[in-house]
Structure 1
């Protein structure tokens, strides 16, 4: 039985290709290549939409920063003007970072991937057409050999030696055909691996830019004295979503859930101090009731 195609959506069987031991580790069929093209185009569309949204966010951050700067110049804001100016400066910085990120996405990710998509689509079409032409040529040669020996047999010239010769020639042509198919599948696999390695490199470059900008923006609160003072005096807004965080506890903004089946009623202790007293508490002394005598149990008087 032929091996199962790895990575396919259904359990289809891989063609038995390659007689010289050169078999691809993974079979990429025409449907898989079509899925790759669709995913590639979807990624580019999503990247374009993300870039547009980031550009709008940059403009919104700049507008918010300008509004905060205007508020800081009002006479009534003479005491809080420094805080408003620091907040506006932070949003200006955020707007600049978002604009830089937009340019990075477009120049370092979208444009290279768009250029590679055209080359990728063209190479897929050319490779498929070349493979189909090669397969047709092999099939034509097989039919020609069969027709030649059928013609010889009709002339009563067929013998065992000629039959063996025909089988040998047919087997050689079949082996050549299988080797061609194996080489085709290996070329397709190498092209797919190269394509998605290139996509991953561009995406990881974008992720690196995002992480670096987020680190620089978060470090601004430590470098700016006004923002540092605000961060020290203002409460953490995420503490309202749950109890105070204890040591070695992961941060989460989700509501805390009780893993126990039933929670204790309000006001009741969570531990039974009568069963497990405190170490410093002295045990309560209890007087044991007197044990009834055997005479009392059986209803006769005790001897004097």
Structure 2
């Protein structure tokens, strides 16, 4: 297996990073921080979530203002803006605000799906309807691919079947999420090998959490498998609101540092990325979590 020559960074801090943050962030601060993420050179930014579930949307009552401020800024700089949606109506709301790149959530774990008031069949029905909307680009975001925190089985065969059905219904990319951060590198490799028998690397992205401390090792394993699209979160912020003791995503700055050391091209200016992480920590009072930002803070 060979490393990819270039990796795409999908910054998910504004959505996954802030979704369970204890303090409601003022809209002007969000706008300033998101612009700093665009400025460091990420390829895509997940602006927020559209859902009818209060625990998922507590931080996202200002999506109209965010979209109005961020979409023109991102377009000028060639950065794609995305959103996470729960169902067809949520996707319509996203499109109405000008966000046409949507991730449609579907859990491989039946127990995990209950936290989002949905089932696999309902999610597939929503995906089929969403994919028919004009000018929409859909990613099927498969949750709990690498294990369920609620104890039910999530066999790879089910993930593959769901992914195939998603492509047939109109999804262009399959997002594979270690939602609870339960995976280890060998599982990442073995699962991706199965997926790569049926899908090309360009059809897959990966979303990793660092709950058990294997996040960066898992990212390395995915790179070995040729995966080129990664969700990361500035400052390692994140954690699903319906998973007990959830931890954040892999830190954008740490992952970019790994890519740079491996000689894998990406579009991120690491110094600007670290500066954005430290600025975010100061402005919202979040502790510095990532190794690269912590080192920079000590050296200041």
Short-chain TM bin: under 0.3
TM-score (norm 2): 0.19
Higher-Rg structure is 1
TM-score (norm 1): 0.19
In proportion to residue count, which structure has more helix?
A: 1
In proportion to residue count, which structure has more strand?
A: 2
